[in-house]
Structure 1
Amino acid sequence: MWGWLCLPVVLCLLACPEARADEVGCDPLAIDLTVTPQRTLIYASLKETVKVQAARPERADVVLIGDSLFAGWRTDLPAAFPSTSIYDFAVGGDRVPSVLWRLENTDLSPLRPSAVALLIGTNDLAAGTPACAVATGIETIVERLRTLWPKTPVLVLTIPPRGGDFRALDDRRLEVNEAISALGRRLPDVHAVTIDDDAFTCGQYRKSRAADSDASARLSCVNYADDNLHFSTAGYVVLGHALQAAAEAALGKDVFR
């Protein structure tokens, strides 16, 4: 069983020159847990999942997929992009297995969007999932999306900073983000959207790293809510501009209007 689970990683190392050499050592159990679809075990998230599934529109120009970092944008999207029909298919608290489960249990095929954006992984990291398994899980989601909508470009956002000093989980977060960047270079119609960690944290990320600050230090930025995890209204404005610029550069057109 474990040999079968490791096969995709080994094949990738042989076929993909940008794959990390240490991926072959990724714990097969961690990969199995991450890429196996699993309905969320969080009651509030399950209730939100049901609502999101029921709210599937007949059509959508853009589909957002992810966790609370996208779900928190839902009410502001019509005003932010009045000329774009956006289906926010994100659920707070979700991890990679939850997203895979929702993709398997929601018929999204009629939508045929012009673009899909994916932002997932921060909850997986917080749960202790190894970076290599999170990266494998993100790629698995991307492959499902490419199968679902073969002609639809996929924009994969890097995981933004979090924590009191904006450096929580940074060792694994940065590793996953490197894998996302490589994914964008390796797969056709897949585009990595790199969130500028320093700019998005109002310059606090660079300062905290330069000063090697205490992890207990409490920094603040207008782009974040008080928990330094979720985004504020200002943060979503910045995120929207990043997606607009990325779509223009990758697709030659602004699908976020």
Structure 2
Amino acid sequence: MVGGPQVDPGAASTGEISGKRAYHVIRLFHRSMEKRNLNMLRPNIMALAVFVAMATIVQVERAEAQPTGKNPAITPQPRIVEWWFARQAEKIAEMTKGDIDLLMVGDSITNNFDSVGAPVWKKSFEPRKAINLGFGGDRTNHVLWRLDHLPKLKKAPRGAVVLIGTNNICWGSDKPKDAAVGVQAIARKLGELYPEMKILVLGVFPRRRKLDHPHRKQIIELNSYLPGLLKNLENVKFLDIGPKFLDEKGFLSKEMMPDTTHPSEKGHEIWAEAIEAELDKMLGK
């Protein structure tokens, strides 16, 4: 588990380990909410924190008990770090307000619509009543956990855009096929939550400048599995806009992605323009 609490190797029982984990998760969640001053949730802070803690314990210990052959990309897992729970608390607060038509689901690449891509978000996504569910560093298993621990909207969103998987293979140890199955699991989960919602799954964006970099090759392989994995899921469409970030020779443009991973403001503009027609179809505009 990434960033998980340290457990005494000499702990006498699973119950003792669970107690330590529960305390750690409750403390993180409580501090996160207090720091963000989420007054609307304050009466339920401890109840919500306890619920999240116990759900975390069950899922973590269940995952730890799985055979080594289990695909980690489809096993929901939280990240036990304070900022991550703080952002989850913020998203819970946003969703309790309702009136959301579009879910933007992903990792830091989507998360960056809150920073470098903010002008693009304001222009292209705010009018579409979107919520940014991008969390920096997340893998597919983290997104699955987050979706399990968000309130269900009374009025179903019309659409969702999913961009996830780069961290599974570039910073994790998942094989491209396993990561692709994780993306499929997220699309399926969203469909279960909101059966009428249209879901646009984007191919993982290219990273690293040169074509022969291992990360580029892994991403190409991951994306190659997605059309087949998604084709039988209702209301799900796959779209690969990655080539729009490349120059005529296939090199990743520094103008689009200065660090060869995260889009610049210009890159966010290209992204928004590339999916605009699909968003109009999804949202009925």
Equivalent pair of 1:162/1:168 in contact (CA under 8 Å): no
Aligned pair partner of 2:154 in 110, 116, 119: 110
Equivalent pair of 2:144/2:186 in contact (CA under 8 Å): yes
Cα distance 1:31–1:149, how it changes in 2: closer, same or farther (>3 A)? same
Identity of aligned residues (%): 25
Cα distance 1:122–1:196, how it changes in 2: closer, same or farther (>3 A)? closer
Equivalent pair of 1:244/1:255 in contact (CA under 8 Å): no
| Structure 2 residue aligned with 1:70 | 110
Kindly provide the amino acid, as one letter, of the partner of residue 108 in structure 2.
Answer: S
Q: Give the count of matched residue pairs.
A: 212
Cα distance 1:119–1:31, how it changes in 2: closer, same or farther (>3 A)? farther
Deviations 1:161-193 (A, max 9, x none): 112426441232112211222234332211001
For structure 2, the 5+ residue unaligned runs are: 1-66
Distance in 2 (CA, whole Å) between partners of 1:245 and 1:130 is: 32
Kindly provide the amino acid, as one letter, of the partner of residue 200 in structure 1.
Answer: F
Equivalent pair of 1:30/1:133 in contact (CA under 8 Å): no
Higher-Rg member (1/2): 2
Greater length-normalized contact order (CA 8 Å, ≥ 6 residues apart): 1
Equivalent pair of 1:30/1:129 in contact (CA under 8 Å): no
Q: Does 1:255 align with 2:283?
A: yes
| Structure 2 residue aligned with 1:237 | 269
Q: Does 1:38 align with 2:77?
A: yes
| Structure 1 residue aligned with 2:35 | none
Distance in 2 (CA, whole Å) between partners of 1:244 and 1:124 is: 27
| Structure 1 residue aligned with 2:22 | none
| Structure 2 residue aligned with 1:221 | 254
Deviations 1:227-248 (A, max 9, x none): 1111111111111111113345
- Counterpart secondary structure, 2:105: strand
Q: Does 1:125 align with 2:169?
A: yes
Q: Does 1:181 align with 2:227?
A: yes
What TM-score results when the alignment is normalised by the length of structure 1?
A: 0.74
Q: In angstroms, what is the RMSD of aligned CA positions?
A: 2.3
Aligned pair partner of 1:100 in 139, 144, 147: 144
Alignment of 1:19-58 (within 5 A): 29=68, 31-56=70-95, 57-58=97-98
Deviations 1:124-169 (A, max 9, x none): 1111211111111111111111110001111000001112426441
For structure 1, the 5+ residue unaligned runs are: 1-27, 209-218
- Counterpart secondary structure, 1:60: coil
| Structure 2 residue aligned with 1:157 | 202
- Counterpart secondary structure, 2:132: strand
Kindly provide the amino acid, as one letter, of the partner of residue 113 in structure 2.
Answer: W
